[in-house]
Amino acid sequence: MNDFKQFLLRGNVVDLAVGVVMGAAFGTVVTALVKDFITPLIAALAGTHDFTGISFTINGSVFGVGDFINALIAFILVAIAIFFFVVKPVNFLISRAHREPPPDPTTTKCPECLSEIPIGAKRCAFCTAAIPAGAK
């Protein structure tokens, strides 16, 4: 019984449960948005009072195009929200975490004329000033 308790209380199981519940709640909100706001806007443009009522019949079979379009719009909105509020921020954080340190510099500035010269140079190629050993 202790093993089962440890399994349930592990972080990734709890995180997954929270994610599933939040996803279901978010799906409900998006479905309501599509049904109560976006569908009437599209229905107003299409000329029908109820967008979900758009359908056609072939040989007695009813094809509910409106319901399919509602589901498609809800899917697209969920995908957009997940992309911009989950995928993009996570990719940004991962790229920042895996950023490589900048490479060691290969040039330095001449103390006399401020031109870029190789680090190992003993004289500046531009002003011929001697470069002191500690000026690198």
Please give the Cα distance from 132 to 123 (Å, whole number): 9
Is the entire prediction scored with pTM above 0.75? no
H or E segment and range at residue 49: none
Write out pLDDT tens, residues 85-117.
878 988 898 888 777 888 888 899 998 899 999
For the chain, which residues make up each domain, given as ranges? Answer: 2-97, 104-136
Please give the Cα distance from 84 to 81 (Å, whole number): 5
Q: Which letter does DSSP use for residue 10 in this model?
A: S
Please give the Cα distance from 36 to 29 (Å, whole number): 10
CA Rg value for the chain:
32
Residue 51's pLDDT is what? Answer: 64
Please give the Cα distance from 7 to 29 (Å, whole number): 31
Residue 116's pLDDT is what? Answer: 93
CB count in 10 Å sphere of residue 65: 14
Please give the Cα distance from 18 to 40 (Å, whole number): 32
Dihedral sign for Cα atoms in the order 82, 31, 73, 36: negative
CB count in 10 Å sphere of residue 117: 22
Instruction: Please list the ranges in the chain whose pLDDT falls under 50.
Output: none
Residue 74's pLDDT is what? Answer: 78
CATH no. of 2-97? 1.10.1200.120
